């Protein structure tokens, strides 16, 4: 980070002392009023109102409920900062005074609880704060700042929806894109990683067919339960025997549904599985192997109908551009010092790179700690991090408000100014 950029970041972040109070109020309100994927109407309204007051050109309804704010501030690069807005169908168990008790009707017509169990409320609040601070200190930077609030990250199609709804025309040419995610790490810590950082995720629904019969006369049927069982066992060899030991990959069969009664052989079984990989070559190889194994097992069992394969909930890999990561890491090193860590490879997935691929722009994506440092270090000393530290999607996941919000806002400002923080006007 250059001396000018360091000076600009310090000047912009002077406004954080004033913004901290309303940002914390915004966060508590958002946490208490979460919205499911594709239902983020209230969140989007609140975001757009804040951006308009700060002087941004605002476009709403992008890809459903997405919001884009653009702040032009003279000649210079264009930097895109992104936050995701949606919550999860989880019953909150944190016991917080501002815990969510919300319930909504989901896309399938069921009434479900809703919670910001993945920290998207942190992301939105930090980006709203960043947008306000950058607007209030325009004499410290040059260029164009694009702030993008994305719906439906949790179901993997929110980014694609914004792209399909004209994202490229709305934001124009972008020079770099940046994003972050709160994780079960000590609050105040920021973690970067070059190259692969988040996995691709592919969910597959497979229907295999048998022939129904009485349980006492199995010779008259083709048992789909046995067929599905053989498939599950054989699929375990895809990772252990077809993927190099040095290449991370996960294949999980999470659901099998078949039959209705103990003495009835049914006529079909439905398996649902999930695959996590980190590059396109391995991703293609594993998905092809699944189809090959399932088809072969159906043939071996004498299945009367070929299997059906349905892909859903698909996420691209997140692979940080090395040059961009190096530049942002340098800025973080100057600002955060020993609070900057090397982010471990993550097995979770994201759709942020669907946006960057459409814009053909380099990007980096970093992690942000959200756990009370004393709680985390106590668990670490006892060797009980897995048991005592709630992770994303847990009903107990509750980032501490501070220093999480401050750190998330600082990280976005510092990263943006690594590009925009040129000679002040």
Report domain extents, the chain.
3-198+317-420, 200-315
Does residue 310 have a known ligand-binding role? no
Q: Which letter, b or e, does each residue of 234-269 get, where b requires 16 or more Cβ atoms within 10 Å of its Cβ?
A: bbeebbeeebeeeebbebebeebebbeeeeebbbbb
The pLDDT, as a whole number, for residue 423 is 53
Give bridge partners of residue 67 from the DSSP assignment: 149
Can you give the pLDDT at residue 2? 55
Tell me what pLDDT residue 424 has: 46
Which residues is 115 bridged to in the sheet?
88
- Residue 7 is predicted with a pLDDT of 75
In angstroms, the CA 47 to CA 180 distance is 18
Pairing mode of beta strands 200-209, 308-315: antiparallel
What count of Cα atoms within 13 Å lies in the side-chain half-sphere of residue 98?
17
| pLDDT value, residue 425 | 45
Instruction: Provide the Cα torsion 24, 56, 116, 398; round to 10°.
Output: -30
**Chain center to CA of 51:** 23
- Crossing angle between the packed helical segments 16-32 and 120-135, to the nearest 10 degrees: 150
Please say whether the structural domain 200-315 has been given the CATH code 3.30.70.360.
Answer: yes
How confident is the model at residue 421, as a pLDDT? 82
**Residue 28 in tokens:** 């508590």
CA pair distance 81, 147, nearest whole angstrom: 5
Within the chain, which residues score under 70 in pLDDT?
1-5, 422-425
Do the bridges between strand 176-186 and strand 66-73 make them parallel or antiparallel, or are there none, so unpaired?
unpaired
Q: Which positions ≥6 away from 384 have C-beta within 8 Å?
A: none
User: Is 181 annotated to bind ligand?
Assistant: yes
DSSP letters for 161-218? HHHHTTHHHHH---SEEEEEEEEEEETT-EEE-SEEEE-EEEEEEEEEE-B-EETT-G
Q: What are 342's strand-pairing partners?
A: 192
The answer to whether the annotation marks 268 as part of a ligand binding site is: no
| Angstrom distance (rounded) from CA 120 to CA 197 | 18
Is 298 annotated as ligand-binding? no
**Identical topology for domains 3-198+317-420 and 200-315:** no
Q: Which CATH architecture has domain 3-198+317-420?
A: 3-Layer(aba) Sandwich (3.40)
Question: pTM higher than 0.85, yes or no?
Answer: yes
In angstroms, the CA 300 to CA 130 distance is: 59
Residue 161 contacts by C-beta under 8 Å, 6 or more apart in sequence? Answer: 63, 64, 66, 151, 152
What pLDDT score does 94 carry?
98
């Amino acid at each position: 980070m250059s001396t000018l950029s360091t000076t600009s970041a310090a000047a912009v972040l002077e406004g954080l002392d004033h913004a901290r109070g309303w940002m914390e109020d915004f966060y508590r309100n958002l946490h208490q009023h979460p919205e499911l994927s594709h239902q983020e109407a209230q969140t989007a309204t609140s975001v757009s109102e804040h951006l308009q007051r700060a002087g941004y050109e605002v476009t709403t309804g992008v890809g459903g409920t997405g919001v884009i704010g653009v702040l032009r501030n003279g000649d210079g690069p264009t930097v895109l900062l992104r936050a995701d807005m949606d919550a999860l169908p989880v019953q909150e168990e944190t016991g917080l005074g501002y815990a969510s008790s919300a319930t909504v009707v989901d896309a399938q017509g069921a009434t479900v609880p809703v919670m910001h169990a993945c920290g998207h409320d942190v992301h939105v609040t930090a980006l709203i704060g960043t947008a306000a601070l950058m607007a209030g200190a325009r004499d410290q930077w040059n260029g164009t700042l694009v702030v993008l609030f994305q719906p439906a990250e949790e179901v993997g199609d929110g980014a694609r929806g914004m792209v399909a709804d004209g994202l490229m025309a709305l934001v124009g040419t972008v020079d770099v894109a940046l994003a972050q995610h709160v994780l079960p790490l000590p609050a105040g810590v920021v973690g970067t990683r070059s190259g692969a950082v988040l996995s691709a995720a592919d969910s597959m629904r497979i229907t295999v067919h048998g022939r129904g019969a009485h349980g006492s006369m199995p010779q008259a049927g083709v048992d789909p339960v046995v067929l599905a069982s053989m498939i599950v066992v054989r699929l375990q060899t895809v990772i252990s025997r077809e993927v190099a030991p040095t290449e991370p990959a996960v294949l999980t069969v999470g659901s099998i549904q078949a039959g209705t009664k103990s003495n009835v052989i049914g006529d079909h079984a439905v398996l649902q599985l999930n695959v996590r990989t980190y590059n396109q070559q391995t991703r293609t190889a594993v998905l092809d192997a699944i189809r090959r194994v399932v088809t072969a097992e159906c043939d071996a069992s004498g299945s009367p109908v070929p299997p059906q394969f349905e892909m859903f909930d698909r996420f691209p890999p997140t692979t940080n551009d090395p040059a961009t990561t190096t530049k942002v890491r340098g800025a973080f090193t100057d600002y955060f010092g020993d609070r900057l860590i090397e982010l471990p490879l993550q097995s979770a997935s994201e759709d942020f790179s669907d946006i960057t691929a459409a814009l053909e722009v380099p990007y980096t994506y970093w992690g942000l700690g959200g756990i009370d440092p004393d709680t985390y270090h106590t668990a670490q000393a006892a060797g009980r991090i897995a048991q005592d530290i709630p992770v994303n999607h847990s009903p107990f996941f509750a980032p501490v408000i501070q220093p999480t919000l401050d750190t998330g806002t600082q990280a976005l400002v510092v990263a943006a100014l690594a590009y925009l923080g040129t000679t002040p006007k």
